[in-house]
Structure 1
Amino acid sequence: MKKILFVINTLGRGGAETALLELLYTLEGQGEYEISLYVLMGQGELRKRLPDRVRLLNSSFSEDSVLSKKGKYKMVWAVCRAFIRNGHLAGKIRYAERILRDMRKIKQIQPDKILWRVLSDGSERFDETYDLAVAYLEGGSTYYVADHVKAKKKAAFVHIDYESSGYTRQMDRECYQKMDRIFTVSDEVREHFLKIYPQYAKKTEVFHNIINQERIRRFAGKGEGFRDHYDGIRILTVGRLTYQKAFDIAIEAMKLVKDAGYRTRWYVLGEGNDREMLEKQREELGLTGDFLMPGAVANPFPYFKQSDIYVHASRFEGKSIAIQEAQTLGCAIIASDCNGNREQIIDGEDGLLCELTPEKVAEAIIRLIGDKELRHRLGSRSKEKKTEYREDIQKLLKMVNGSEAG
């Protein structure tokens, strides 16, 4: 029986984690493989959704959300343990200090990226040799598979705009050289990755996020969704409360929509480190009852189905799972015209693309509020989009079965 190992940084409720689960479920139906998973941080609320046949290798695991207060406390302890485990404490500290200096030079400090190498070097090790090891996320899991996993073949996934995300060759320390195949989730992600690593063009190809449209539609019919009995226009966004998702721009856009006299509410399903800042901004603009942030939910699909407009105005993307889900459920979508989003939406045909400014986002929203026929047309075209890409699983199976050259 062929043995496959997947490694991911956390198992929280995020786009990449959701895509991994769908990939694992798809892989279960493709033949007899022994599938293992190692979660670098040993944490995440999606553990309960793992397929039954997937073996979790972590000696201990917490299902606390990585975004909860308790979860953040546990993450701090995980980092502390990583500094000590497997030795080389001085080397880990020197690496973190060097990366911090580099970030200060460009005035862009990202603590997670400083620590991914430390977490990789300080994680559990396994003697087993796998037929294929897959790093499903950039950063820690990629470093871990490159340096600390024994495998006949290795693959790495890239989910983000590598140029915009803050990763550098100095951080990566030639980890991609050790990969037999590099999978990017879209053509744009591939293009931007190869600007940093042009030498890997021959072994880099697109592997789209796999989603299960049948499951999404089924779950959209379960649960209550909105409970506030609001009868105005509902706007929805699903995503983490982070800088990337640009909710600061969304709040300003909502202020313009409300000032223009439109009766609407904007709901954001997600959690993140920017919550306190966004709540303060919302209060200062008098939008406490209009821009609602109820947090992450286990089943967001009834909310998609019940919304009038779905907005995904992010600063950059790889390929958005949330957009794929919104398309599956026939939402009228507005998205910022950025890397990733423009590959998923054709402006004016199956959604609207707009410049990421409060004025342009508000303008697009007002346009859809006032044109029910356009909302219906965009939603219908959106629903027709190809979003599953289940055939891409063959790209992994060719590697594990030895039918592809490294």
Structure 2
Amino acid sequence: MKKILIASYDMEVGGVERSLVSMLDHFDYDRHSVDLMLYKHQGEFMELLNRRARLLEEVPQYASFRKSIGQLLKERQFGLGVSRVLSKVNADLIGRLRKSAEPGYFQMQLMWKYALPMLPKLDEEYDAAISYLWPHYFVADKIRAKRKFAWIHTDYSTVETNRTMDLKMWAKFDRIAAVSEACRDSFLSKYPELADKTDILENITSPEFIKRMASQGDAGPLQADDRFKLITVARLSHAKGIDQAVKAMKLLKERGLRDLVWYIVGYGGDEAMIKELIASYGLEKDFILLGKQTNPYPYIQAGDLYVQPSRYEGKAVTVTEAKILGKPILITNYPTAPSQVEEGKDGLICQSSPEGLADGIEKLYKSHEIRSRLAAYVRQTNYSNGYELDKLYKWIS
């Protein structure tokens, strides 16, 4: 029996975390013994973890990555607190110099780089170790394993990282798994020298689980709302483009489309800014933030149109989930969009701007025929892909 370690941050509500739950549910435990290392034992999805995977004890130094600088200083983890301050100051400075829209990725790199000397190694040795979420320094530097694998879930052509630092880290992995062909291609456009070790292994989806969860909860205010309901499940962050969505809704109202409402399921660092934007446009009754929801599926089920307004994605788990629930789909033309939606078959792709979103929504709102055709196509498509894990088993062996 092969001994496997899988490492990730926590089980807060998110697409990557949902895909990890599905992966653990589909794992072959008759041939593999699986240890799960979560840096912090927190998040609503903790209760969804498959009990056949052994959850390792939380290690205080790794749990620090989900704590504030103030918390670290109170807990007398001064070295880690200082490393966090340095990473933020340096990343902010470099971000301003480069005029970066989102220096957060570089900050995470620096955070790990400065903290590495203070982080303990795990004693156990594994046949294979899987790092599920970037940055992958824990598995790269603190784990003994015969083979090491890392997952990429985002579009690397759109995020700023220190290429030299990343290459040193990637060199310690035997395989890099991209969740889509477009995700792989964007990654290799930045790291072409890693082509030989980069392959595609899609997020594992379970249509049965998603449909069951959709039937178990309620959709709150959506059930009593008679308007045409747009629904998005996403972090409130620059990458997900929720600010673009607010501006698109303003344009739609100005065009006279009064019978529209947009519900957002999710949370994140841009919440205050988005609320301020909603208030400035007077959209409090038309653009509604529902916050963090452990079970987003009843909300998707209750919507009339699923919209993904992202600036960039690797492969949005929520888009596939909306297809499984039979929803017509509209996504923006982020670089990896063609790997998610086949234009005119299972969804539409619009320009990534408030105007583009407004045009796409207006087109679908006014055409029941197009919405019905898209919904009919996804309802007859099988999105189950547990077979993807066969690739991983071959890598391990």
Q: What secondary structure does 1:221 align onto? A: helix
Superposition TM-score, scaled by structure 2 size? 0.90
Aligned residues: 388
Distance change (3 Å), C-alpha of 1:209 and 1:80:
farther
Distance in 1 between residues matched to 2:75 and 2:197, nearest whole Å: 36
Contact 1:221/1:302 (8 A) holds in 2: yes
Q: Is the 8 A contact 2:83 2:111 kept in 1?
A: no
What are the residue-to-residue correspondences of 1:357-376 with 2, within 5 Å? Answer: 357-376=353-372
CA contact (8 A) 1:82 1:122 kept: no
Question: Quick check: 2:2–2:33 contact (8 Å CA) kept in 1?
Answer: yes
Contact 1:83 1:118 in 2 (8 A): no
Map 1:1-400 to 2 at 5 A: 1-27=1-27, 29=28, 31-59=30-58, 73=68, 76-77=71-72, 84=79, 102-108=94-100, 109-110=103-104, 111-139=107-135, 142-172=136-166, 174-227=168-221, 229-262=224-257, 263-400=259-396
Does the C-alpha gap of structure 1 residues 357 and 101 become closer, same or farther in structure 2, counting only changes over 3 Å? closer
- Separation in structure 2 between the aligned mates of residue 92 and residue 15 of structure 1, nearest angstrom: 26
Q: What's the secondary structure of 2:291's corresponding residue? A: coil
Contact in 1 for aligned 2:83/2:115 (Cα 8 Å): no
Q: Deviations over 1:176-212 (max 9, x none)?
A: 1111111111111111111222122111100000010
SS in 2 for 1:236: strand
Give 1:338 deviation, angstroms. Answer: 1.0
Distance in 1 between residues matched to 2:40 and 2:114, nearest whole Å: 11
Structure 2 CA distance for partners of 1:34 and 1:384, relative to 1, 3 Å? same
Structure 1 range deviating more: 3-12 or 314-323: 3-12
Unaligned runs of 5+ in 2: none
Which SS does the other structure have where 1:178 is aligned? coil
- Report the residue type matching 1:8 in the other structure: S
Percent of aligned pairs with the same residue?
A: 33
Distance in 2, Cα, partners of 1:289 & 1:276: 17
**How big is each residue's C-alpha offset from its partner over 1:75-106, in whole Å with a ceiling of 9 and x where there is no partner?**
95299877637xxx999988777666544431
Which digits, 9 at most, give the CA deviation of each residue in 1:94-152, with x for residues without a partner? 8777666544431333243431334555444211100000011121xx11111110001
Q: Contact conserved, 1:82 with 1:119, CA < 8 A, in 2?
A: no
- Worse-superposed segment, 236-245 or 158-167: 158-167
Residues 252-311 of structure 1, C-alpha deviations (whole Å, 9 max, x = no match):
111111222220110000001111100010001010011000102111111111111110
Assess if the C-alpha contact under 8 Å between 1:332 and 1:376 holds in 2.
Answer: yes
Cα gap change, 1:261/1:95 in structure 2, threshold over 3 Å: closer, same or farther?
Answer: closer
Does the 8 Å contact 2:206/2:385 carry over to 1? Answer: no
Structure 1 distance, partners of 2:303, 2:239, is: 23
C-alpha separation in 2, matches of 1:48 and 1:252: 37
Question: Which amino acid in the other structure matches residue 370 of structure 2?
Answer: L
Residue type of the alignment partner of 1:148: K
> Unmatched 5+ residue regions in structure 1?
none
Rate the CA distance shift 1:367–1:75 in 2: closer, same or farther, 3 A.
Answer: farther
Counterpart AA for 1:198:
P
Over the aligned positions, Cα root-mean-square deviation in angstroms equals 2.7
Which has the larger displacement, 152-161 or 218-227? 218-227
- Indicate how the Cα distance of structure 1 residues 97 and 372 shifts in structure 2: closer, same or farther if over 3 A, else same: closer
The TM-score normalised by the length of structure 1 is 0.88
